[in-house]
Amino acid sequence: MGHPGRHHLPTLTGVTNDLSALTGRDFAAVLFDMDGTLIDSTPAVGRCWARLAQEEGIDPARFEGRHGIPARTTVEALLPPDRWDAATARLTQLEIDDTDGVVLLPGAAEALAALAPQGRSAIATSCTRDLARARLRASGLVAPAVVVTVDDVERGKPHPDPFVEAARRLGADPADCLVVEDAPGGLRAGRAAGCATLAVVTTSTAQELSVDDLADAVVGDLSAVRFAVVDGRVRVSPA
pLDDT at residue 6 above 70? no
Catalytic, out of 35, 98, 161, 216: 35
Average pLDDT over residues 23-51: 93
**SS3 assignment, position 203:** coil
Average pLDDT over residues 48-77: 82
33 part of the active site: yes
Catalytic, out of 33, 98, 216, 221: 33
The rounded distance, in Å, linking the Cα atoms of 80 and 46 is 22
Please, how many CA atoms are within 13 Å of residue 120, restricted to the half-sphere of its CB? 25
Average pLDDT over residues 70-78: 86
**SS3 assignment, position 80:** coil
pLDDT (tens digit per residue) in 8-31: 444 444 567 889 999 989 999 999
Comparing 19-28, 61-70, 171-180, 223-232, the range with the smallest average pLDDT is 61-70
Q: Which long-range contacts (CB under 8 A, 24 or more apart) does 170-173 make?
A: 170/28, 170/29, 170/119, 170/120, 170/122, 170/146, 172/28, 172/29, 173/28
Strand 103-104 and strand 121-124: the pairing is unpaired
- What value does the mean pLDDT of the chain take? 90
pTM higher than 0.85 for the full model? yes
221 part of the active site: no
